[in-house]
Amino acid sequence: MIELLKPTRQTVLLRTNPAIKLVLFVALCLVTVLTRNIDFAAYQALTYTVLLFAFGGFPVRKTLLLVLPFGFLFVSSSMTMILFGKGDTLWWQWGLFRISEESFYRGLHLGFRSIAFAAEGLLFVSTTPSVKLFYALMQNFRLAPRFAYSFMASIRLLPMVWEEFLIRRQALQVRGITVRGKGLRGMAEHVRLYAVPLLSQSIRRAHRVAVAMEAKQFDGGGKRTYYYPSNVSWTDAAAVLLLALAPCAAYAAAVVFPWFGIADVRYHS
């Protein structure tokens, strides 16, 4: 899974300092959170999806595959609001379902925003190897090394947990153990057979690795050197410009070519 999401294309965003990029993406996320205008939300969804194709770390075909679930995401995040939202201009009512003009547009707005979030997230993940991110956070933002190295070591240990899961499953098969009971009881049985051994084994392993890392002073607070130096360069200025222009362009488009023309989708009685 981690291998699958490894960036394969070189873009401006891939060369950007990951710590700076994280700040930029949190800022973009906040802009999206604060958006109340439906057109702005729609154009943000569009802009970030285009950016994902243009500057994401994956080839177009793979990006297309990742973008496909956006349609489902749109429906699932907008449907509840469309069917059950408050609103005065009633369009259709059947039992509990109640679609009004306001709730319909509010639902669409939520859908667009979900797509914007998803595209932002994918754009960040597809251009940021996590090891680089933690090295940059340690050097540029003074994240305590014990946090950063714990994360990096845990990510490396994760595939072992998966391997252990497969071994456990085979072991249970060899012993001819079948899960008794269906529904909730079956689920509890699954938890007992899998979760307890897997979790206890990962606690043991994490503890062993931690003891070794402590011995090698990975938790030390003193001065240290880093295998991957993390610098700030002109590429970062380009990335700042690109990611600042994107929401501005979306906003301009929303002002000049509005689709729906609703400035605030929240309910006002």
Partner 1 sequence: MNHVLQAEKRKGLRLSDLLVTILLSLALGVVYHFWSSVYDLFKPLFFQADELVYGVWFLAPTLAMLLIRKPGVALLAEVAAAHVEILFGSEWGVQLVLYSVAQGLAAELVFALLRYRSFKMGTAAFAGAAAALGSFAVDVYFGYVTDYTLGMMLFKYVLRIISSAILAGYLAFALAKALEATGVTQLLRPVTQKDYEALDHD
CB of 16 to partner 1, least distance (A): 16
CB of 194 to partner 1, least distance (A): 10
Mention every residue, 6+ apart, whose C-beta is less than 8 A from residue 99.
Answer: 82, 83, 90, 91, 92, 93
DSSP H or E run through 260:
none
In the complex with partner 1, the residue whose CB is nearer, 162 or 231, is: 162
CB of 263 to partner 1, least distance (A): 15
Q: Is residue 52 within 8 Å of residue 63, measured between CB atoms?
A: yes
CB of 172 to partner 1, least distance (A): 17
Q: Which residue has the tokens 């072992």?
A: 160
Q: Is residue 13 within 8 Å of residue 241, measured between CB atoms?
A: no
The strand pairing partners of 94, in sequence order, are: 97
In the complex with partner 1, the residue whose CB is nearer, 252 or 263, is: 263
CB of 237 to partner 1, least distance (A): 23
Query: What are the contacts of 221-225 at 24+ separation with CB within 8 A?
Result: 221/144, 221/145, 224/145
- The one-character DSSP state at 161 is H
Q: What is the phi/psi pair of residue 169, to 5°?
A: -65, -45
For partner 1, the binding residues (CB under 8 A) are: 1-2, 5, 25-26, 28-29, 33, 66, 69-70, 73, 77, 80-81, 84-86, 96, 98, 103, 106, 110, 114, 117-122, 124-126, 130, 146-147, 149-151, 153-155, 157-158, 161-162, 191-192, 195-196, 198-200, 202-207, 209-211, 213-214, 218-219, 265-267
